[in-house]
Amino acid sequence: MEKVVKINKKHKKHTKENLQQLSKEELIEKIIQIEAHNIQLKNIIQKLNADTDDNKGDEKSTKRRNFDFSKCTKRHILLRFFYLGWNYSGYAAQEDTNSTIEYYIFKALTRVCLIESRESSNYHRCGRTDKGVSSFYQVISIDIRSKFPIEQQFCEEGIKNELDYCQMLNRVLPEVIRCVSWAPITVPNYSARFDCYLRTYRYFFPRGNLNINAMRTAAKYLVGTHDFRNLCKMDVGNGVVTFIRRIQEADIVLSQKDQSNPEYDVFYFEFIGRAYLWHQVRCIVGVLLLIGQGNEEPSVIKDLLNVEGNPCKPQYSLAHDVPLNLYDCKFNSRSSFSYDSNSYKEEEQNENCEDESNKEVQLHDWVYNEESLGRVISDLQSQWTLSTTKTSMMREMLNSLNEIYVEKFPNSSKIDNNANVLLQGVKSKDYQKLMSRKKCESLENRIEHFSKKRRIQVNDNCTEDKQINP
């Protein structure tokens, strides 16, 4: 028998006649629904008003100060920040969310009237960390307000008694984002992005049941210049078609030793290079964890780096974002900016590079303020105390439950999920070797795909992309 379906259209507005036809129970149900909907709408309006009031507060504060940037001098500096990015959507500002580190940094810079706008600030960032990733050494270059005229900015007084940039910013930044120090620059073209010649990432993880020696052996295969297309996420749609990068150092290092149980020792994977590809570090750590678990041999790294023999990336899971940290950055003592070509040099820079077009030393020592740095340390200690307390409580619970488990189920296998949680994705019951898994599309196929869609246009003389996020 054919079923007839009728769609009940909802009335936009109830009339008095419609309501009179409803029973008492139906009216009660209707009132409950309306009240629940009103509460939901009130919560939404309250949240929107809070954001609006916050923005209005910033506007009123700016109007009240009536700051005239045309009457003040500027100086070009580096600013160093650390941030815990676990609850943020990455470093770089995004159109669809304000939950980024960069959003709050610029909000703070404008609120304390150190810059007029991002567009006019000559801004560059050292690294672009992804969602959930933290940094101990994020650096930006920027033109910022100074209380000294240009001719006095590089004398002892002009550096020692300059505005306390860090303290001004930290007063209005979220507690997990802190400005640590600043460094004066003698010319306006020095870039935190292009003049950084080494970036160090660290990925922290517990020992668990991992074979650390096997992971160390595999990490050594990464050192040198390689094509990392099988150890990153190919971002061909945004024009990245070259995946050759040079890694100077890669190793597994003991960070914290647990005296009672070596399974709780904390290590970190250290990765030092100049430029990085999208998800490069997390892809590498994902494979290293498989090696540490004994599922893969260390030589699988060599297989993945052999793009001629293995042009297509096998499907595997990324390592978790939380343990990743942009830990350190090294900068050129002279800018890589070429005054002759009015652009940044393409060749790799080093700390002792000699540039005939620019002999002037530009990078000064980092400037620290005792009171400001002390407050930063105190703030971080407070967060460490709370986090360590939580960790200690969970550790006590684990010890107690493990004792019960061993006593009640002496023949059961040991539970070890310390490293498994760091591998994202669904874990299959029967492990399949990496090189026998289903493969992703080749680089050539991806280029052809986006070319047909007119997303990219590839020339034969394309140069290496400067992408640096992990």
pLDDT for 297-337, tens place per residue? 999 999 999 999 999 999 999 999 999 999 999 998 877 76
pLDDT at 58 (0 to 100):
56
Condensed to tens digits (0 to 9), the pLDDT of residues 404-438 reads: 999 999 888 888 888 788 988 777 788 889 898 88
pLDDT at 302: 96
CB atoms within 10 A of CB 437: 12
Asked if 69-194 and 196-329 have one fold, the answer is: yes
Predicted confidence band of residue 35 (pLDDT cuts 50, 70, 90): confident
Where along the chain do its domains lie? 69-194, 196-329
pLDDT tens profile 139-198: 999 999 999 999 998 998 999 999 999 999 999 999 999 999 999 998 888 999 999 999
Residue 52 Cα distances to 49, 55, 110, 341, angstroms: 5, 5, 17, 46
Check residue 4 and give its pLDDT: 33
Amino acid symbol at 404: I
Q: Looking at residues 66-82, what average pLDDT do you find?
A: 88
- Residues with Cβ within 8 Å of 254's Cβ and at least 6 positions away in sequence, in order, are 265, 266, 267
Distance (Å) of CA 197 to CA 126, 186, 345: 10, 19, 12
Question: Residue 240 in 3-state DSSP?
Answer: coil
Band of the pLDDT at 238, cuts 50, 70, 90?
A: confident
Residue pointed to by tokens 């107690």: 400
Q: How confident is the model at residue 344 (pLDDT cuts 50, 70, 90)?
A: low
End-to-end CA distance of the chain: 60
For domain 196-329, which CATH number applies: 2.60.40.10, 3.30.70.660, 3.30.499.10, 3.10.450.750?
3.30.70.660
Write down the pLDDT at residue 207: 92
What does the pLDDT read at residue 445?
87
Tell me the sheet residues that pair with 330.
198
**Which residues contact residue 243 at a Cβ distance below 8 angstroms, ignoring those fewer than 6 apart?**
227, 228, 229, 232, 234, 277, 443
pTM of the model: 0.80
Residue type, 399: N
User: What's the CA angle centered on 313, arms 309 and 319, to 5 degrees?
Assistant: 135
20-29, 77-86, 123-132, 430-439, range with the lowest pLDDT: 20-29
Residues with a catalytic annotation lie at 130
Spatial CA neighbour of 383 closest among 174, 181, 132, 81: 174
Answer whether residue 221 shows pLDDT above 90.
yes
| R_g (Cα) of the chain, nearest Å | 28
Which CATH code fits 69-194? 3.30.70.580
Residue 448 confidence (pLDDT): 81
Smallest Cα–Cα separation from 80: which of 268, 272, 331?
331
